[in-house]
Chains A and B, each alone.
Chain A
Amino acid sequence: MNAIEFEDVKKSYGSGEAVRGISMAVGEGSLVALMGASGSGKTTMLKMVNRLVAPTSGKILFFGEDTASMDVIALRKRIGYVLQSAALFPHMTAAGNISTIPDILGWDKARTKLRVKELLSLMGLDPDKFAGRYPSQLSGGEQQRVGIARAMAGEPSVLLMDEPFGALDVITRSRLQDDLLSIHRRSGTTILFVTHDIDEAFRMGNKVAVMNRGVLAQYGTPREIVENPKDGYVRQLLNFLSVEALKRAGEPK
C-alpha cells in the first residue's frame, strides 16, 4: 500500500509555478528523500501532504484517501512534521513539547508520560536529565532531537521532515542521520524527507526523488539513479555526490 500518492499535482503562486504536475508514490514504511535545489518545489510538495499548502490542481492520496476531502485536523493528527529550525514551543519543557500531540489526541497522563520517556531515550536523551529542560537550555542538536520526538509522539503513520538537519554542524548531523535511519528501521514509520544535500539524500533515502524546477527529474533507488541517470540535470548532480555516498549507493540496501 502507498502511504502517499501524488497524482498530477500542480501548485502555482501568482504567476510562478512551484510544482508542475508531479505524480509519484511513497510506499508505506519507506524513507523517501525529496531532493532539489532551493526553489525546486520540494518544500511545497511536503507541505501539500499535511495541507499547509493547497495544490492548485491534482490529487494527493493519504493511504488511498483523497486528502482534500479529509478533515484537515484529523489528517494532521496522523502526520508528524519536523522543520529545519526545531520550532519548539519556548514556554514548554522538552517533556511538555513532546506531550503536545498526545494531549491533543486526549491520551491519559500515564500513557503520555511513558511515551515521553520512551521517545527521549530513543532519541538518545536521558529522560531524567532532559525532560524538564526548556528549549533555550538545549543545544541545536538536542533541540532537533526533541523536535523529532515531538513529531513522533502521537505514533503518526507518516513523518514529514523539511531539511531537519540543515542547521546542524557536520558531526551532530551525521549522528542524527544514523539515529534517524535506525529509528526508521525499528518503527517502520513512512518518512518523506526534504533535503538540498545530495549526499544526505542518497544516504537517507530507500528511494530518492530528484526535483528540478517543479518537475520530477528522476525517482528511483539510489542505485538506479547512479547507474542510470535519466537526464543531464541528474548526471550533473551526480558529479557532486561524494565517493563514499556513491559507493554506498552501489550496495543493495
Chain B
Amino acid sequence: MTAYLLHYYGYMLRAAASHIEMIALVMLFAIPVSAALSVLVHVFRFLAVPVITILEILYTIPSLAFFAILTPISGLGVKTAVIVLVCYSLFFLVRNFLAGLEGIDPLIIEAAQAMGYSRAGMFLKIELPLAMPALIAGTRLACMSSIGIACIAYAIGAEGIGSILFEGMRQMSYVKIAWGVILVVTLSVAVNNLMAAAERYFARRADPGRT
C-alpha cells in the first residue's frame, strides 16, 4: 500500500486534480443554467411540468448509456462526461431551487408584493436570500452525485480518480482499487462537509435571529 503511495503520489494527485477540475467545470455550467431555468419556471408556472419532466427523464438514463449516446456526437473525453454530469446536476439543482422559492411563507410574498416591489426587486431582495439554503443543498447533492459518476466517465476516456480504479480492476490490483476508493471517498467527504458549512452559513443569513 505505502510503496504504491510513495511511488505514485504524483500520479494520484493528478488524478484527483482532474477529478476536481471536472466537477468544477460541471458546476460552472450547471449552476447558472439551473438558476435561469428555475427563475423561468418560477415566473411562468406552466413551464414547471415540462421542464421537471424533461430533467427527470434525463436523470433516469443510466450513466453508461448516456455516455454511449453522446459519444458519436461530442466524442470521447471530458467534454461528453461534463455534458452528462451537467444534465444530472440540473435535476438536483432545479428541484431544490424551486422548492426553496416555493417554500417561502406566502404571506411574506404577499407583504412584499403589497409594498410595491418590482418583480426583479422582490426576487433579489426577498426570494433569493430566503431560497439560498435550498439552492446550496441542491448544489451539495449535485456535487456528491457528480463525484461518483465522474469515476465511471473513465470509460469514455475522461481522466480522474476513475483512471486508478479502472486500472486496478483491469490488473486485479487491490492496492490500486483501495487507493482509488480512499481518494474518491476522501474527496466526497471533504466536499460534503464544505457544502454543509456553506448551507449552514446561508441558513443563518436567511434567518439570523434563530441562531
Contact = CB atoms under 8 A, between A and B. Distances in A.
Given A52-B114, A76-B114, A104-B116, A91 B207 contact: yes
B207 A136 contact: yes
Contacts of B130: 89-91
Contact of B116 (A77, A85, A90, A134): A77
A89 B126 contact: yes
Given A91-B206, A91-B207, A133-B209, A81 B115 contact: yes
Contacts, number: 70
B115 A89 contact: no
B105 A87 contact: yes
Interface in B108-164: 108, 110-118, 121, 125-126, 129-130
Interface residues of B, number: 23
Interface size class of A (residues with CB under 8 A): 20 to 34
Interface in A65-112: 73-77, 79, 81, 83, 85, 87-91, 100-101, 104
A87 B116 contact: no
A100 B115 contact: yes
B210 interface: yes
A136 B208 CA distance: 8
Nearest to B209: A134
Contacts of A52: 110, 113-114
A144 interface: no
A50 B113 CA distance: 10
Q: Main secondary structure on chain B at its contact with chain A? A: helix
B205 interface: yes
A87 B210 contact: no
A76 B111 CA distance: 11
A137 B208 CA distance: 9
Nearest to B121: A104
Interface in B91-118: 105, 107-108, 110-118
Most chain B CB neighbours (cut-off 10 Å) among A75, A77, A89, A133: A89
Contact of A134 (B105, B118, B126, B207): B207
Interface in A143-184: 150, 160
Which residue among A52, A75, A85, A91 has the maximum number of chain B CB atoms within 10 Å of its CB? A91
A114 B9 CA distance: 63
B111 A83 contact: yes
Interface in A121-136: 133-136
Interface of A: 50, 52, 73-77, 79, 81, 83, 85, 87-91, 100-101, 104, 133-138, 150, 160
8 nearest A-B pairs in the assembled complex, by CB-CB distance: A134-B209, A136-B209, A81-B114, A76-B116, A77-B116, A87-B111, A87-B107, A137-B209
26 contacts: A52-B113, A73-B116, A75-B116, A76-B113, A76-B114, A76-B115, A76-B116, A79-B114, A81-B111, A83-B111, A85-B107, A87-B108, A88-B108, A88-B111, A90-B108, A90-B206, A90-B209, A90-B210, A101-B115, A104-B115, A104-B116, A134-B207, A134-B210, A136-B210, A137-B209, A138-B209
